[in-house]
Amino acid sequence: MNKVVLALIVSFLLVLGFKGILAAQAISVSVTTDKDVYYQYEMVYITVTVTSDGSPVAGEDVGIQVLDPDGFTVYTDQGKTDNNGEVIFYFRLNPNAKCGEYTIIATVTGGEGEGKFRVVPRAIVGGEVNQINKLELLPMIIANNINLIVLIVVAVLAIYIVSQRILENNRLS
């Protein structure tokens, strides 16, 4: 009786062992993001795809860890793959997120994948401009156009002098 039970257990364990080893060897994990470069405070969407011999693996637990440029963990998550072998993770970068290259590590039991993205400072897209009296701008306009103003003044003076001389010559003649 014991021998039969033992034989059954050994067979069962062998099957489980081989199944585990085979499954672990064939798994492939790919990591992609919706963009290569993000601004601070932007949403990051990460797609992890799990395949086995090219076929999607559904219902697989995926763990994810995102490391900042200094190697500190800034985001973790866990999800299950859908029928396409995909799971999507998302998070928003902090407004003061470090700029540089971030690393995404996605793992399943028996496989792992890696992805990268960059974070750059957020562009200034807005601001407040106060109403300014046009007269306040006059000194700035003069300073910026001083060469042109001098040229115009000299030209006007030259025209005036020339015209006066012509008029005087006409009077004398």
Partner 1 sequence: MEILIYLKGLKYSMATISSGAHTRKIGRKLMLTLIIAFLLTFLTVAANGYTVEIVSVQTTDMQGNPKTEFKRGEFVVVNVKIKSLLTYESQDYLLIVQVKTPDERVIALGFTSGSLAPGQEVSTGYGFKIPDDAPTGTYKVEIFVWNGWPAIMGGNWKPLSEKETTTITVTT
Which stretches of the chain bind partner 1, using CB under 8 A? Answer: 2, 5-6, 9, 13, 16-17, 20-21, 23-24, 27, 43, 61, 63-65, 67, 73-79, 90-94, 105-112
- Taking the least distance from each CB to partner 1, the nearer of 19 and 165 is 19
What is the nearest approach in angstroms of partner 1 to the Cβ of residue 138? 42
- Taking the least distance from each CB to partner 1, the nearer of 75 and 86 is 75
What is the nearest approach in angstroms of partner 1 to the Cβ of residue 77? 7
What is the nearest approach in angstroms of partner 1 to the Cβ of residue 12? 9
b/e per residue 111-137 (b: at least 16 CB within 10 A): bebebebebeebeeeeeeeeeeeeeee
**Tokens 């064939």 sit on residue:** 26
Token readout for 80 is 């299950």
Eight-state DSSP code of residue 101: E
- Taking the least distance from each CB to partner 1, the nearer of 13 and 162 is 13
Q: What is the dihedral of CA 8, 11, 17, 20, to 10 degrees?
A: -90
- Taking the least distance from each CB to partner 1, the nearer of 45 and 160 is 45
What is the nearest approach in angstroms of partner 1 to the Cβ of residue 18? 8
- Taking the least distance from each CB to partner 1, the nearer of 73 and 164 is 73
**Residue 69 CB-density burial (10 A; 0-12 exposed, 13-18 middle, 19+ buried):** middle
Token readout for 45 is 């969407």
What is the nearest approach in angstroms of partner 1 to the Cβ of residue 73? 6
Q: Are 97 and 40 in contact (CB under 8 A)?
A: yes
